[in-house]
Structure 1
Amino acid sequence: MHPQGEKLPKEAQHFLDFLASRGRKPSTLRRYAYDLADFYSFAFIHGDQKTASNDLLDPSLLEDYFAFMIERRKYNHKTTKRIAAVLKRYFYFLSQTYGLGSNPMESVTLPPADDEKITQDHLLSAGEIRQLLTSIESDLGLSEEQAQARPLLAPRNKVMIQLLLHQGLRLQELHGLSLDDVNFGTGTMTVSPEDGEVKKREIQLSKNDRRDLHRYVQMIPKPVRPYPGEGHPLFVSFDFQKQTYRWSYEDDEPKRLTIVAMQKMIREESKRAGLAPGKSAQHFRHTYIVSALKHGHTLEELQEKLGLHSELVLLRYQEYVNHIRSK
């Protein structure tokens, strides 16, 4: 039995046996076993029995997995790229040995590395943004159950995407927000990152974002609504079966929307709006930074606005804007 073997399905065990027969080092086999066990553990928790099975594996589950590693675990690009290579090779083995129809990793696009050049593919156009925000408030393409929930759900989804687009928030920051972080009187929001990658800061909301955020909170039914002074989460999970927002009886507060659920929401709303596959919170952040630079904001101003420790991470955006202006 390989390390982590007790957590692996038989197909993964056969894959490790195949690698061993090809002379792979024990250290390599341990690494592969750990990566596969970690993926299946995630799939068991965040997927369902149907979508997590090898023959019906949905690429969206893999996208959620990589979003989780990047946003929650803070894995760097090199690590996520290595794990992607492991999974790609594993699913190729399944296609050759077990007749898996296609390699789901072929449909997964990893976010760019921090030092990768920014291109138009990393951004949303003004037309795509309008298309997305308009689609969120429509019921086009929704099932009867989804359409019934849309009046409650649309205000949350819309304001979440607006905060990513208009404030350049990271998904981790959006996830960590509590209602107490918002001052509706002054229109300010305190962002207190838990990971230390950026600094705590106060941001000014636009009049429209402030209005839409207040509308979202007021749309939540009172029994499950977050209230000020309680440390309640700002963005709450939704229960489609009960057609209402969720309450966490364990924490005795509204149930905080998870990072994985946020990424899934972005993906589903983008797909329904007809945008190209692979859109993520990072596309919105890239778009915000490029737009700010185009409108004359300096690197120093953006560093303060985003709570960055250095301007260096912004240089690739400035390089892109300079390139566009030189055309």
Structure 2
Amino acid sequence: MWLKDRKLQNQSEHTLDAYFRDVSGFIAFCYEKNIELKQVEASDLREYLAFKVEQHQLSSTSLQRHLTSIRQFMKWAEQGNYLTINPSDDLQLKRQPRALPGMVDVETINFILDQTAPEKPLEQQLWLRDKAILELLYSSGLRLAEVQGLDIRDIDFGRLLLRITGKGNKTRIVPFGGKAKDSLIEWLKIYRIWQGEFKPESAVFISQKGARLSPRQIENRVKFQAQRAGVNVDLHPHLLRHCFASHMLSSSRDLRAVQEMLGHSNLTTTQIYTHLDFEHLAQVYDQAHPRANKK
């Protein structure tokens, strides 16, 4: 009956299978302990979850899913008067801290961006295009899709601004640096060699055949240029975005500005980068708070 109700909510077969396994495991545990459903207490749930961790080495994510499945089942049982009290209501797992993104130091990124151009003409042209991509990713913290979807009309060379269409088709204006500007200008010279004159709606980053680069092509070229520089880093566009955010926050201490440039709708998303600023925050506290133990 419970799974039938789940199906009526148009949940996928994969989700339903996971629910069935999780709840069946808990019911089997209760059966072995001679505990009826209406007798289950929060302590029994804790014991079951501890058993799953010990026997199956579950990750925190899997453990949370188990609890969610059981909670949904017990909510259904309570609504059907099979339970008078839902023992899972007051049981909360301690959430694991969000994993910090990987990081590359400024010197390594500069080493990649400032590497010598290849000697062969075609490889040199590809490098000038790739360098412009790398510079924009790091200069403005763009997402892969945002770089891939960038058009000529989105670049304001005079004010060093980009018009970016991000997640949910939200538009934001972000600055880009002088080195990114120089790289873009050099790339657009090659663009004309490959494609001729471009229109405002033309894609900024294209292949030799004139087609807009795909996300996979951009990813591969970013990795290739890191390898060509001899750097032992699995470089990808999102890692450059992480580096932009952390390096900007470390230097500016302006979380709101970094949030705006990244296009985060929620400040808590940007706050994963504040791990670099604990020492600075401690200094601010010591200097500003009236109850701090100032030296």
Q: TM-score band (shorter)?
A: 0.5 to 0.7
1:256 Cα deviation after fit: 0.1
Find out whether 1:210 has 2:181 as its counterpart: yes
Determine the C-alpha separation between the residues in 2 that align with 1:258 and 1:325. 41
Q: Report matched runs for 1:114-263 at 5 Å.
A: 115-118=98-101, 122-135=102-115, 137-139=116-118, 147-193=120-166, 195-196=167-168, 199-222=170-193, 224-225=195-196, 227-229=198-200, 231-237=201-207, 245-246=208-209, 254-263=210-219
Please tell me whether the aligned partners of residues 160 and 174 of structure 1 are also in contact (alpha carbons under 8 angstroms). yes
Per-residue deviation, residues 146-182 of structure 1 (Å, max 9, x unmatched): x331221121111111111111111111001011111
Match of 1:271 in 2: 227
- Structure 1's 204 and 315: CA in aligned 2 closer, same or farther, altered over 3 A? closer
Per-residue deviation, residues 226-255 of structure 1 (Å, max 9, x unmatched): 6233x1101011xxxxxxx21xxxxxxx31
Determine the C-alpha separation between the residues in 2 that align with 1:267 and 1:281. 9
Determine the C-alpha separation between the residues in 1 that align with 2:232 and 2:280. 22
Q: What is the total number of aligned residue pairs between the two structures?
A: 192
Letter of the structure 2 residue corresponding to residue 125 of structure 1: D
Please tell me whether the aligned partners of residues 152 and 220 of structure 1 are also in contact (alpha carbons under 8 angstroms). no
Per-residue deviation, residues 173-199 of structure 1 (Å, max 9, x unmatched): 100101111122332211012x41x73
SS at match of 1:257: coil
Determine the C-alpha separation between the residues in 1 that align with 2:270 and 2:129. 29
Letter of the structure 1 residue corresponding to residue 262 of structure 2: L
Determine the C-alpha separation between the residues in 2 that align with 1:220 and 1:290. 32
Determine the C-alpha separation between the residues in 2 that align with 1:139 and 1:207. 23
Q: % of aligned pairs identical?
A: 19
Letter of the structure 2 residue corresponding to residue 133 of structure 1: L
- Structure 1's 117 and 186: CA in aligned 2 closer, same or farther, altered over 3 A? closer
Letter of the structure 1 residue corresponding to residue 220 of structure 2: K
SS at match of 1:210: helix
SS at match of 1:209: helix
Per-residue deviation, residues 127-155 of structure 1 (Å, max 9, x unmatched): 211221133x4328xxxxxx331221121
Determine the C-alpha separation between the residues in 1 that align with 2:183 and 2:156. 14
Letter of the structure 2 residue corresponding to residue 175 of structure 1: Q
SS at match of 2:173: strand
- Structure 1's 225 and 321: CA in aligned 2 closer, same or farther, altered over 3 A? farther
Determine the C-alpha separation between the residues in 2 that align with 1:189 and 1:284. 17
Determine the C-alpha separation between the residues in 1 that align with 2:126 and 2:281. 40
1:265 Cα deviation after fit: 0.4
- Structure 1's 315 and 236: CA in aligned 2 closer, same or farther, altered over 3 A? same
Q: Which runs of 4+ in 1 moved over 6 A?
A: 324-327
Match of 2:5 in 1: none
| TM norm structure 2 | 0.58
SS at match of 1:227: coil
Per-residue deviation, residues 256-305 of structure 1 (Å, max 9, x unmatched): 01100000001111112122242211211111111111112411111112
Please tell me whether the aligned partners of residues 178 and 232 of structure 1 are also in contact (alpha carbons under 8 angstroms). yes
| TM norm structure 1 | 0.53
Letter of the structure 2 residue corresponding to residue 270 of structure 1: A
Find out whether 1:305 has 2:288 as its counterpart: no
Q: Report matched runs for 1:58-137 at 5 Å.
A: 115-118=98-101, 122-135=102-115, 137=116
- Structure 1's 220 and 284: CA in aligned 2 closer, same or farther, altered over 3 A? same
Runs of 5+ in structure 2 lacking a partner?
A: 1-12, 18-60, 62-95, 284-295
1:323 Cα deviation after fit: 5.7
Runs of 5+ in structure 1 lacking a partner?
A: 1-26, 32-77, 79-112, 141-146, 238-244, 247-253
- Structure 1's 161 and 132: CA in aligned 2 closer, same or farther, altered over 3 A? same
Match of 1:319 in 2: 275
Determine the C-alpha separation between the residues in 2 that align with 1:203 and 1:270. 25
